[in-house]
A = this chain, B = another copy of it.
Amino acid sequence: MRALVVVTGGTFDKEYDELRGTLSFRKTHLPEMLALGRCRLETRVLELMMKDSLNMTSADRKRILAACRRSPESRVVITHGTDTMTETAAALGRAGLPGKTVVLTGAMRPYRFGSSDGLFNLGSALSFAQALPPGVYVAMNGLVFSWDDVKKDRRLGVFKRQKTHG
């Protein structure tokens, strides 16, 4: 089994720019994280964009959809900013990706800052991507949600089912 990892940025890959004292993006850390996890699942990492998801446009979401559509892999993980992850998941879910298991994940704390949830979420998402039937999902906080039943609780910084309190 092979998986495609589509990198779009988000807190997952945020960096601290020492000279400016601000947050920024550079190259993705996904290959380094897969190595840290000693991941032996064959993966292809595609760095599509490096964006804070608050700045994502529908053009960006179309590009993500296209990357998923044309991938030979039927298992896809998308790393994404948590702020609009559910919107991208909905865009993909409504468009439809038949035969493909697509799992979006992100991080609340940048991988490079230590004490990050990034590695945990990456392991989680890659596993759900292998085990679940075709569909579009969000994997955060050790749980998995269908694209049409998830929202981000911005006060607590966690993901929950939309249809119930859960």
Contact = CB atoms under 8 A, between A and B. Distances in A.
Contact of A142 (B16, B52, B127): B127
B16 A110 contact: yes
A20 to B, nearest CB: 10
Interface footprint category on A: 35 or more
A123 B19 CA distance: 22
A92 interface: no
A116 B113 CA distance: 10
**Copies of this chain in its oligomeric complex:** 4
Contacts of A131: 127-128, 131-132, 144
A38 B115 contact: no
Contacts of A14: 21
Nearest to A120: B37
A159 B131 CA distance: 18
Interface of A: 11, 14, 16, 18-19, 21-23, 33-34, 36-41, 52, 83, 108-110, 112-117, 119-128, 130-132, 139-144, 154-155, 157-160
Given A22-B23, A36-B117, 17 more contacts: A21-B23, A36-B115, A36-B116, A36-B120, A37-B121, A37-B124, A38-B140, A39-B141, A113-B113, A120-B120, A120-B122, A121-B123, A123-B142, A124-B126, A125-B127, A127-B144, A128-B131
